[in-house]
Structures are given as structure tokens and as C-alpha cells.
């Protein structure tokens, strides 16, 4: 029995993950050639093998379905002779972030797929990313490098919200209710991801000779630092400790490691992830000041991402996803034949 043709959703997910895994492979190759800690090297090699396998399996599907293979990224986008740009600690944080982003991404891909073989592929990858994330956290904990979320005093009993003041108290600068655990969770995770993003922007800014790209990453570093500070202040206001990853994540190297195309693409992925995180946090928060803050910061990220898109378009670095036929053009063309 012939397989049904791939749906637009399936092609879209396969195409997106092919591009992203192609990019991650080049990053992991640099990590592999510069990592020093043997346990972190194990994680780097495991991550590299996972991303190479995903790319290979998706490539096989594209061949069988007679779909064009995306150009994506290759060995020309990484300089494996370059000295180490990021410390082992930051590599570990990057793999953790990759695992956290990969599990919901492949869960979403599985959910919108129809064909059993495509669902099976995304299910398998989802399990592998979840396994990678668990192993990364275990090693981080063993080495004392894992940045734990804040703790709170356990409540004595169940309580119910009484009145709108629970939501509006954040608007009163003199009397804001303390943060609840859901709000703490989102503030902490967004603080952590912005700290990592700041470090990546720092490394990219010091290794590119493209003025537009350099200025873009300098702005990204400043934005990440500002957002992280806002989240840290909010936690501190409620007497919640605001632990952050070590600021020592980038070496002094100024030698180019990655192509501008790869660095800009990675930042576009991180910006999209950040916008999604802010949207989720805004929906989950129950203090109006937090909701307003997330919406404001989301707009800032959107404007920043748009500036990045302009740079990528200017340099012809954006591949066009597969799209539906333009029926109007086909009809118009048929009229003149």
C-alpha cells in the first residue's frame, strides 16, 4: 500500500528541523574540537551524533518523497582550526538549552503529523532529546554546575484567590504581593536563558568582522543583559534568591569560528524561542505588572528579530521554505500559452 503524500505540516516540520539540526552539527563540531572536560565531551559527542542522525533520517525522507534538499549549513560554516571560543560550562548550558527547546519542538512536530512513519520518527527523536536533557542535568548536578531554580517555604494549607487585588497588586509600587511559584518559575527560566543568550552574543560579536552583524550582536548582548536584570530585580523584590549562571562563558579569542550566516540564523532561532517563552509566561502570570512587562519585552524581541531578518535578507542568507503553488500565476501563465 502506497503511503499518503506528505502534508504541508509534515513538510514544514521536516524542513525546519533539517535546517536547525544542520546548524547545530557545526556548533557541536567546534565544541568537540575544543572541549576539555571528559564528561562534557561525552555530552557534546552524544549531541553531535543525535543531530547528525536526525539530519540523515530527514534527508532520506526528502529523497524518497522527491523533495529538494535544503542547502542549510555545511563544513564551510565552521572553522575547526579556530581556538576555543566558549568554556566547557557554557557548552554544558548550551546543550541543556538545546534539550529544553528540542523536547517541546519535537512534541509539536509529532502532534501535527499524520503519517505513521513521520509520527514515529518525531516520537523517537523526542525520546532521544528527553534522554539527552536528563543526562545533561545529571552531569551538571554532579559537577555542581547546574543552576537550580529558587526554593520557597512550603505552604501550610490550600488557599483561594479572594478578589481582583491578587492580580492588580503588582501595579502598586508600595504593596506588591509576593510572587507565586508559577511566576517564579518563568522569571527564573527567562533570567537563565537571557544570561546564556548574552554570552553567545558576546562571543559572536568579538569574532565577526562584518560591521552590521557585530553591531547586531552588541545590541543583543545589551538587550539580554537588560532583560536578565529586570527578571532578577523582580525575584529580589519578593525576597526570592536570583541565582544566575556564571558570567565566565566566553574566552578572549577573536578568531572567527562560525560564518555570519550561521550566527545570525542561531540568533533568529533564539529570538523566536524567547518570544515563545515570554508569551507563555505572560499567559501564566497572575500579576498585571508581570503580564505587561512580558508583553513589552516581547515587542522588543520582535523588533530586534526583524532587524536580524533585514540583515539576513540583505546578504541572501535566508532559504525559502517549500510553499504551495501560486494558482493565480499558473492560471495567468496558462492564458498566454
Question: Could you tell me the pTM of the whole model?
Answer: 0.92
Q: How far apart are CA 73 and CA 82, in angstroms?
A: 18
Q: Fold for 165-314, please state it.
A: Ferritin (1.20.1260)
> Could you say which residues of the chain have pLDDT below 50?
none
Task: Quickly count: other Cβ atoms within 10 Å of residue 161's Cβ.
Answer: 10
User: Residue length, the chain?
Assistant: 337
Q: Do domains 8-142 and 165-314 have the same CATH topology?
A: yes
Specify the pLDDT at position 241.
81
Q: CATH classification of 8-142 is 1.20.1260.10, yes or no?
A: yes
Specify the pLDDT at position 151.
85
Specify the pLDDT at position 190.
94
Specify the pLDDT at position 293.
96
Q: Cell numbers of 210, please? A: 562584518
Q: Which residues of 54-71 are buried (b: 16+ CB within 10 A; e: fewer)?
A: bbebbbebbeeeeeeebe
Specify the pLDDT at position 246.
56
| Nearest residue to 192 (alpha-carbon basis) of 100, 102, 83, 61 | 100
The H or E element containing residue 95 is helix 88-112
Specify the pLDDT at position 305.
96
Specify the pLDDT at position 316.
97
Residue 151: burial class (beta carbons within 10 Å; 0-12, 13-18, 19+): exposed
Give me the residue spans of the domains in the chain. 8-142, 165-314
Give per-residue pLDDT as tens, 226-284: 999 999 999 998 888 876 655 568 999 999 999 999 999 999 999 999 999 999 999 99
Amino acid at each position: 500500500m502506497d503511503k499518503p503524500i506528505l502534508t504541508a505540516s509534515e513538510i514544514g516540520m521536516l524542513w525546519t528541523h533539517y535546517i536547525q539540526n544542520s546548524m547545530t552539527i557545526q556548533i557541536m563540531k567546534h565544541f568537540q574540537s575544543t572541549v576539555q572536560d571528559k564528561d562534557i565531551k561525552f555530552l557534546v559527542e552524544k549531541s553531535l551524533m543525535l543531530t547528525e542522525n536526525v539530519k540523515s533520517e530527514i534527508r532520506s525522507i526528502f529523497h524518497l518523497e522527491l523533495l529538494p534538499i535544503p542547502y542549510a549549513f555545511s563544513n564551510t560554516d565552521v572553522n575547526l582550526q579556530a581556538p576555543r571560543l566558549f568554556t566547557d560550562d557554557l557548552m554544558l548550558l548550551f546543550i541543556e538549552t538545546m534539550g529544553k527547546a528540542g523536547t517541546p519542538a519535537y512534541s509539536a512536530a509529532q502532534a501535527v503529523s499524520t503519517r505513521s512513519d513521520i509520527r514515529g520518527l518525531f516520537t523517537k527523536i523526542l525520546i532521544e532529546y528527553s534522554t539527552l536533557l536528563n543526562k545533561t542535568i545529571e552531569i551538571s548536578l554532579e559537577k555542581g554546575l547546574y543552576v537550580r531554580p529558587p526554593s520557597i517555604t512550603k505552604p501550610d494549607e490550600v488557599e483561594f484567590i479572594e478578589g481582583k487585588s491578587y492580580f492588580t497588586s503588582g501595579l502598586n509600587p508600595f504593596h506588591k504581593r509576593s510572587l507565586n511559584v508559577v511566576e517564579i518559575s518563568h522569571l527564573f527560566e527567562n533570567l537563565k536563558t537571557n544570561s546564556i543568550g548574552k554570552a553567545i552574543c558576546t562571543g559572536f560579536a568579538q569574532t565577526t568582522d562584518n560591521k552590521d552583524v557585530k553591531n547586531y550582536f552588541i545590541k543583543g548582548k545589551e538587550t539580554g543583559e537588560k532583560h536578565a536584570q529586570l527578571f532578577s530585580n523582580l525575584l529580589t523584590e519578593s525576597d526570592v534568591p536570583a541565582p544566575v549562571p556564571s558570567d565566565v562563558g566566553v574566552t578572549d579569542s577573536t578568531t572567527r569560528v562560525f560564518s555570519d550566516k550561521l550566527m545570525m540564523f542561531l540568533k533568529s532561532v533564539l529570538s523566536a524561542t524567547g518570544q515563545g517563552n515570554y508569551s507563555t509566561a505572560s499567559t501564566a502570570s497572575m500579576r498585571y505588572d508581570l503580564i505587561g512587562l512580558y508583553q513589552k519585552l516581547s515587542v522588543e524581541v520582535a523588533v530586534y528579530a526583524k532587524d536580524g531578518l533585514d540583515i539576513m535578507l540583505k546578504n541572501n542568507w535566508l532559504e525559502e521554505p517549500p510553499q504551495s503553488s501560486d494558482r493565480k500565476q499558473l492560471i495567468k501563465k496558462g492564458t498566454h500559452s
